[in-house]
Amino acid sequence: MNQQQIAISASGLTRRFGSLVAVDNVDLEIPKGTIYGFLGPNGSGKSTTIRMLCGLLTPSAGSATVLGINTKKESEALKQRIGYMTQRFSLYEDLSVKENLQFVSEIYAVARRQRKLRVQELLQDFKLVDRSKQRAGTLSGGQKQRLALAAATLHKPEILFLDEPTSAVDPQNRRDFWETLFELAEQGATILVSTHYMDEAARCHSLAILDEGVKVADGTPRQLGEGIASHVVEIEADDPNRARLSLMEQKEISSITQLGIKLRVLIPKTVIDPLQLVNSSLQSTGVTTKAEQVFPDLEDVFVAVTQKRREGTAA
């Protein structure tokens, strides 16, 4: 890829805290104008990686460039061109919504004649006009989220770093938030968002899966599904627990997840006929089942790649 098309790149990015390796030798190449996700549980290194990419934390090893700027050597120059939304609400709770935005406009040295217009524009865009005089600390979770994103985009950054931005909001607010992200991406912004929600990760153009500080996979959701070394069989059963217990006896099956009356079963691709394996195992149980081979979703991918890594580490 042409270097001018790359917004973020990293090579061997590593961060240690004493004996703990929080981020371990991560490589990245993120194109401009895309929404890129970090998917992983708490403690997987998502926030630490974002802080290094923002220039807020110095890598123990490796390097990163954001918009062609070395994050280690030129962090101050970088801050004017990026927006960063932390996991926890970080604005002033005793200030009103409008006062918070006015304060942020001064921090980013927005031209005085443009500040009022820009603040009013954001109040309109993020549906906060009727809350402009309300103290930020009294807002609901969704309103705080909109205010935080408005503040992060006030200076029209080229890249947005969003660290677990929807962890404290309801499903409708999450959906509205993502519609805003797609609008920003269409306007040319590059967005890096960390999440532990599988459905959110599936919305990203591309993503990396992090596990204990290691990048175990990356690509588009489609590429990730095609790339795992497992078949996925979905089973609908009138007695899913009995079906699950029967399948657990099969050594070839690497994972079984129950979702209501359905089971999702991961079987290595070395097994030629996964449906035959499943059906023969269930035949003797007397359970009424319907099995079909399906395309892996991101939860299947996550289970497969993290399981493979941990088996390799143990070996």
Report pLDDT digits (tens) over 85-115: 988 888 889 999 999 999 999 988 888 888 9
**pTM for the whole structure:** 0.90
Q: What's the domain count of the chain?
A: 2
Classified as helix, coil or strand, 300 is helix
Query: Is 127 found in the same domain as 263?
Result: no
What is the pLDDT confidence band of residue 313, given thresholds at 50, 70 and 90? low
Query: Residues 217, 235: one domain?
Result: no
Mean pLDDT of 175-179: 90
Digit-coded pLDDT (tens) for 190-213? 999 999 989 899 999 999 999 999
Strand pairing class (190-195; 35-39): parallel
Domain match, 211 and 284 both:
no
User: Tens of pLDDT along 254-310?
Assistant: 999 998 889 999 999 999 999 999 999 898 888 888 999 999 999 999 999 998 887
The predicted pLDDT at position 80 comes to 86
Instruction: State the chain's mean pLDDT as an integer.
Output: 91
How confident is the model at residue 112, as a pLDDT? 84
CATH no. for residue 85?
Answer: 3.40.50.300
Structural domain range at position 280? 229-295
Dist CA 27 CA 19 (whole Å): 21
pLDDT of the residue at 315: 47
Whether residue 51 lies inside any domain: the answer is yes
Q: Burial level of 118, CB count in 10 A (0-12/13-18/19+)?
A: buried
Q: What is the DSSP string of 4-32?
A: GGEEEEEEEEEEEETTEEEEEEEEEEEET
Strand partners, 159: 82, 190
Same domain, 236 and 270: yes
Higher pLDDT, 308 or 232: 232
- The answer on 196 and 137 residing in a single domain is yes
Residues 235 and 217 in one domain: no
